[in-house]
Amino acid sequence: MKKDGRVSAVSESMPSAARDQTMLRRANELTVLAVLRDGTSRVMREIADETGLSWRTANVVTESLEAHGWLASEADTNGKRLGRPARRYRFRADVGHVAGIDIAAHAISVFIADLAGTIVGRHQVSVSPGDAAADRLATAEATLRAALSTARLDGTGVWAAAVGSTGIIGPDGVVSKSAVLPGWTGVDPGARLAHLLRCPVSVTNDCNLAVLAERWHGHRADTMIYLLTGVRLGTGLVIGGQLHRGSAGAAGEIGEIREFGWHDAAERLAAAAPGPVSDLDRAAAQVFAAARDGDAGCLRAVEQFSTDVARGLTAMVLTIDPDLVVIGGGFAHAADLLLPRLRQRLAGTCPHTPRLEASELGDESVGLGAVRLALDTIDQRITALDSATPLTPAAISGTS
């Protein structure tokens, strides 16, 4: 050992430790990829500085990543140096793609994104809540084909896909309970779409994806509850920075306690609408508008709806004590009425009242959350790849 007693031992033993070397090599590759995936191009000196690697190690790793197709490079036109111009390296976000699919009651939406999360194709088709499961699946397939076409891709370019659906989704991706869509219980939407894509397709409760979207592009916290409001009430949880689905995918199903009134809260709100309306969403919008104008009956209905929502939300907040609650869904536009009322009710019972915010992602949240989950799947594949297997796009693409 050298005189500082620490540094030399490992390198002395390296020639007989090829396994240690490949593990270090992989760690260095992941470090360089992680820095460049923000989309900004960098010269080698910047890559070395930001990764904390030596210039020489950074150079070897970066050139190897370029050879495998993860990076592109060009001569640096900014520098005014003597001699050979430096090269700028950038992550090739289009080396692979993901699909995020939202199968909802009124519409099916598909987003196609590159590996940087930029949306490069999308398509949406209206459906009816009463559609049979087979028709809904056929429409989902057609919508996915159309979205791939807008992105000029066939299914082979998609490395991972995620589907959002109402209901409780088991760990196997099968809908184990759906109260909303006819014939939807027992359906496996991922299996139906996988053959189009030739990559794994995961299925997740829609509120779970909405909370991921919020954490990605909206309000974020390490522990947060997303509350879907509207004709249907539902929740999604992030705990300790991770999506929390629960042991059987049934986390956040607080609405199962009938006394909380979540199953008919929107109907009771809509019943206060001044005129005759056939559509719950439109009726609710009328009630919120009239409440803002001071209509006493509609204000009472808003108070009652807030009480209904707060009863379930209070139980969830007392259980996990989150940093943040985000209100999304169709009634998020009535946040001016709902947020102060929910905040007051939570403060009346909870030792600690979390921050309350209204989502600004609108009806794209489930589809965006599906994109985020699919991107996370790819990150997990990269991290989990055996260090003896070269880190190539083909090894990560997940296509069969």
- Binding range to its own copies, per CB under 8 A, among 23-31, 94-102, 211-219, 364-372: 23-31
How far apart are the two ends of the chain, measured CA to CA in Å?
50
* 55, two tokens: 């210039």
Decide if residue 246 touches its own copies (CB under 8 A).
yes
**Residue 115 neighbours by CB under 8 Å, 6+ apart:** 37, 91, 93, 94, 95, 96, 97, 98, 159, 375, 378
* 362, two tokens: 């609108």
Candidate list 81, 294, 351, 384; residue touching its own copies; CB under 8 A: 351
- Length of the chain equals 400
By the 10 Å C-beta count (0-12 exposed, 13-18 middle, 19+ buried), 103 is classed as buried
Taking the complex as a whole, how short is the minimal distance between the CB of residue 372 and its own copies, in angstroms? Answer: 18
**Which among 181, 319, 208 has a CA at the least distance from the CA of 257?**
319
String of contacts with its own copies for each residue 62-101, x by CB under 8 A: --x-------------------------------------
Candidate list 56, 106, 195, 282; residue touching its own copies; CB under 8 A: 56
- Binding range to its own copies, per CB under 8 A, among 99-107, 113-121, 143-151, 244-252: 244-252
Q: Is the dihedral of CA 176, 180, 183, 184 positive or negative?
A: negative
Candidate list 282, 321, 344, 394; residue touching its own copies; CB under 8 A: 321
Candidate list 245, 301, 359, 372; residue touching its own copies; CB under 8 A: 245
String of contacts with its own copies for each residue 166-185, x by CB under 8 A: --x-------xx--------
Decide if residue 239 touches its own copies (CB under 8 A).
yes
Decide if residue 24 touches its own copies (CB under 8 A).
yes
Question: What number of helices (H) and strands (E) belong to the chain?
Answer: 13, 15
Decide if residue 150 touches its own copies (CB under 8 A).
no
- Binding range to its own copies, per CB under 8 A, among 39-47, 242-250, 266-274, 357-365: 242-250
Decide if residue 106 touches its own copies (CB under 8 A).
no
Candidate list 316, 326, 356, 396; residue touching its own copies; CB under 8 A: 316
Decide if residue 20 touches its own copies (CB under 8 A).
yes
Q: What is the DSSP secondary-structure string of 264-286?
A: THHHHHHTT-SS--S-HHHHHHH
Decide if residue 304 touches its own copies (CB under 8 A).
no
By CB under 8 A, how many residues form the interface with its own copies?
A: 66
Residue 240 or 275 having the CB closest to its own copies: 240
* 151, two tokens: 């992105």
- Binding range to its own copies, per CB under 8 A, among 6-14, 78-86, 264-272, 299-307: 6-14
* HEC sequence for 53-86: CCHHHHHHHHHHHHHHCCEEEEECCCCCCCCCCC
Map tokens 């076409």 to a residue: 149
SS3 9: helix
Longest dimension (CA), the chain: 88
By the 10 Å C-beta count (0-12 exposed, 13-18 middle, 19+ buried), 190 is classed as buried
Decide if residue 349 touches its own copies (CB under 8 A).
yes
User: What residues line the site for its own copies (CB under 8 A)?
Assistant: 5-7, 9-22, 24-25, 28, 52-57, 60-61, 64, 168, 176-177, 223, 237, 239-240, 242, 244-254, 256-257, 314-316, 318-323, 349-352, 354, 388, 390
